[in-house]
A = this chain, B = another copy of it.
Amino acid sequence: MGLSEEQVIAVLADVFSSQDPRVILGIGDDAALVHGSQQQILTTDIAVEGIHFRTDWSSAYEIGRRIAAANISDVLSMNGHCDYLLVAATLTGNESIDWIRDLAQGIQDQASEAGAVVVGGDLARSQILSIAITAVGHTDSATRRSGAAVGDSIYLSSLTGWSAAGLEILSRGLSTSGALAARALNEYRAPTLDMKVDFSAATSMSDVSDAILIQGAQMANASQVKFEIKVEDIEALPEFAELSALASEIGGNVLDWILQGGEDHALLATGVNLPGVRIGVVVEGSGISVLRGGQKIEMAPVAWSHFNQD
């Protein structure tokens, strides 16, 4: 390949350089040395080209932001603050040094916005581009998936569906214009984390990385309750009108986007009088249902999986 490991590491050390006081020793030794916390949050996610991202759909910068956001979101969903990221990437050798720098800058900017520092990484060569990020955070009081109680309401930190709309525009090859399509494409390419929505009083929480119907069912199972999503609540949201207008424009299914699209990385939480938007209630029973006028709507099963997809 044209690039040497030394060249790439020099660029990465430059992009990720930091004087953060939490970091005792950053990139350059066998390992990083940082200040830890009594309750530490640890999570890892791997993203593979062609499955989780496509270089013809997203810029290197957007891919970096997006993968970092997915990891940071898992920390936020524990009612945590993200402190450190480690990045292990496989490169094919066809990437230019500028492309690699942009990827790193995307990770770095998303980390900075969340108050986190990139403290380490590793590079290897492979035929397939992949990026594994580990996020390390802390919390004073973790919110698990298992605390939802009958009588709680179900909330989103913001309405989901924009990322799925963006994905549909890209995968159908639609040429769109207008602010709504642009917003959907932006949200797909670099999701906005809802850092300012205070869900610290939530009884249970998860980030919607796959779909409300998937993470909601997991939370309901962990809590031994049933989640009822109310379509009327969703339709009453101011943003629903916008997303619905986009769905009409391009012939998409707005409820599918909202309930079966995940990569906005909104937070899904239960509790009483939480901020964000209210989309349903927790009742006795098991699983998750979608109701309109008290009647259950059959949703198509979520076919999409990072693991099973061809």
On A, residues with C-beta under 8 Å from B are: 1, 4-5, 8, 24-25, 28-48, 51-52, 74-75, 77-78, 80, 84, 86-91, 119-128, 130, 132, 134-139, 142, 144-146, 205-207, 222, 305-309
Contact = CB atoms under 8 A, between A and B. Distances in A.
Contact of A46 (B33, B77, B122): B122
A41 B48 contact: no
Nearest to A22: B40
A78 B125 contact: no
Contacts of A86: 42-44, 134
A120 B5 contact: no
A91 B51 CA distance: 12
Given A30-B206, A30-B207, A39-B36, A52 B124 contact: yes
Contact of A138 (B36, B46, B120): B36
A169 to B, nearest CB: 24
Contacts of A134: 42, 44, 86, 88, 134
Contacts of A142: 24-25, 33
A128 B305 CA distance: 18
A207 B147 CA distance: 44
Contacts of A80: 31
Contact of A124 (B36, B47, B206): B47
Given A44-B120, A134-B86, A36 B36 contact: yes
A91 to B, nearest CB: 8
B120 A130 contact: no
